[in-house]
Amino acid sequence: MIRRILLPVAVATLWLSMVSAVRSQQLAATPPMGWNSWDSYGFTIDEEQFKANASVLASMRQFGWQYVVIDEGWYMANPAGHNLEERHYLWNGDGLLIPDPARYPSAANGAGFKPLADFVHAQGLKFGIHIVRGIPRQVVAANLPIEGSSFHAADAADQTSPCPWDDGNWGIKDNAAGQAYYDSMIKLYAAWGLDFLKVDCIATNPYRPSEIRQIAAAIRRSGRPIVLSLSPGPTALEHAGEVGEYAQMWRISGDHWDGWTLPNKPGDEYPFGLEGAFERLAQWYVYTKPGNWPDADMLPEGWIGPKPGMGEARESRETHNEERTEFTLWAVARSPLILGGNLTRLDDFERSMITNQDVIFVNQNSTYSRPVDNAALGPMFEDARVWRATVNEPGARGYAEYFAFFNLEASPATLRATWSQLGLDSPKHSARNMWDGSTIKESKEISVTLPAHGCALFEVH
């Protein structure tokens, strides 16, 4: 049997209450779970569509789903435009982006996103938005004043650091004016009721540590707890300590889309397929801890439409086995779980997958997770991967070990290993499959047959 640490009931109860108290005070104490609009709507989502998706997420919040995030484009009067002039950004007198009232009627008359955030909070959820780092180029051209300071936009703008793939903004200088601009931005968005901020073009190409620090400082000064998510990837491993000091999430790959492997240019990870996520998550597991969550990106599962951030409207190009493998890998590796498919068109398979309490439990409660060394498993695992997660806090389930098996082959495969090879001390164990509820009787080894690109997740006793 698994070796356990047994505590008196009173001590265990006290320990659990202390752990719960610490988690409740820490920002992103567990991997954030939620939904982001980009995969299904690109720039185009409007208030009615957002509320519809938020309402579906609210119906599943007992499973841990919490954040609803409007991705890029909420400040565009014409999101279908092909360049900055055609898209027509909207900003207030202080040079801060504001929602398009034609798409977000509740934002009219200067209300901003506060009414929409109030709606989200009333659903028991938390509200998030996306921004591209920096300051709008047209705001700089007009040299608008920066609220709460003697500075103007031109004082803050770093015109040597535009985003290479977005023509909307200049970067922000590492100076007092730049800090004042970010302070005024976060002050406004915090007043709306913001809980989650995804900042793009900041984690790589280029990596902008000065702007990361400025935004984190602005969040602290706002007085509101706001999760900071950095994008896109791949964030370099050598920056792990720095991004972990200032942000709660950071992307570890290029934009992940729906496919096992996806064509891209040499040296460019866009788009990033599912197969590559195994190696990437294995590189980052040592940096995963409460408040620090290397982010494998959104889960492009189910219906991706009506206006996807890439390609045409479609059902996910992943098979059901691949979708389950994706969800399981993200869960066991403790990546944030951010759904990308259109929640208003969930089918029975997707709904049952994203409401599997056992799998979500592993993501939210594991205290340590890591890939099992393939060298210890033998040649049978050359085209397979195994992840191990441990829960070592007292609670309803007590101490537990979890093992996820993944078949990377395009054909079915049978995997077999002893518990000793998998790293457990005791020679015999039983196990329960957390996807189908089947059990394996106590034995010295485990054998599992998986479909092409399929997986299984076991709770081991």
Nearest to 343 by CA among 298, 312, 294, 297: 298
3-state SS assignment for residue 184: helix
- pTM summary value: 0.94
Which domain-ending residue is among 365, 400, 420?
365
Are residue 182 and residue 308 in the same domain, yes or no? yes
> Are residues 75 and 156 both part of a single domain?
yes
Provide the pLDDT for residue 15.
Answer: 38
Within the chain, how many helices (H) and strands (E) appear?
A: 14, 21
The one-letter amino acid at 135? I
Task: Kindly give the residue spans of alpha helices, DSSP state H, lying in 26-149.
Answer: 38-41, 47-58, 84-87, 114-122, 137-142
Q: Using DSSP, state whether 211 is helix, strand or coil.
A: helix
Using CA of residue 144, residue 145, residue 151, residue 156, what is the dihedral sign?
A: negative
Give the CATH number for residue 319.
Answer: 3.20.20.70
The rounded distance, in Å, linking the Cα atoms of 217 and 436 is 46
**Cβ-Cβ contacts under 8 Å for 114 (sequence gap 6 or more):** 191, 192, 193
* Shared domain check, 425 and 279: no
Chain centre to alpha carbon of residue 82:
28
CA distances from 308 to 106, 264, 330, 341 (A): 24, 18, 22, 9
Task: Say what the pLDDT of residue 267 is.
Answer: 85
Q: Which pLDDT tens digit goes with each residue over 56-94?
A: 999 999 999 999 999 999 999 999 999 999 999 999 999
Buried residues in 95-105 as b, exposed as e (16+ CB within 10 A): bbbbbbbebbe
In the DSSP assignment, the letter for residue 108 is G
- Do 134 and 213 fall within a single domain? yes
Give the CA distances from residue 139 to residues 101, 210, 395, 461, in Å, rounded to whole numbers and listed in that order: 19, 21, 53, 61
Find the length of the chain: 461
Whether 65 contacts 123, CB under 8 Å: no
Residue 392 has a pLDDT of 86
User: How many domains are there within the chain?
Assistant: 2
Task: Go through 226-246 and write b for each residue having 16 or more CB atoms within 10 A of its CB, e for each that does not.
Answer: bbbbbbbbbbeeebbebbbeb
pLDDT digits (tens, 9 = 90+) for 344-369: 999 999 999 999 999 999 999 999 99
Closest CA to 370 of 324, 407, 422, 436: 422
- When computed from its CA atoms, the radius of gyration of the chain, rounded to whole angstroms, is 23
The pLDDT score that the predictor gives to residue 17 is 47
Q: Is the peptide bond before 232 cis (omega within 30 degrees of 0)?
A: yes
351 domain residue, yes or no: yes
| DSSP-derived secondary structure for 60-83 | TGGGT--EEEE-TTTTBS-TT-SS
State whether 409 and 349 are in the same domain: no
Neighbours of 341 (CB within 10 A): 27
Q: Answer whether residue 271 is part of any domain.
A: yes
Q: What is the pLDDT of residue 254?
A: 97
Name the one residue in this structure whose structure tokens are 């597991």.
285
> Are 416 and 330 found together in one domain?
no
Q: Report yes or no on 18 lying in a domain.
A: no
Q: Is 408 in the same domain as 262? A: no
**CA 155, CA 151: separation in Å to the nearest integer?**
6
We report the CATH number of the domain holding residue 408 as: 2.60.40.1180
CA dist 399 → 7, 182, 387 (Å): 11, 44, 17
Q: Point out the residues of the chain with pLDDT beneath 50.
A: 1-22
- Give the domain range for residue 243: 31-365
pLDDT score, position 216 = 98
345 and 434 assigned to the same domain: no
- The answer to whether 132 and 200 are in contact (CB under 8 A) is yes
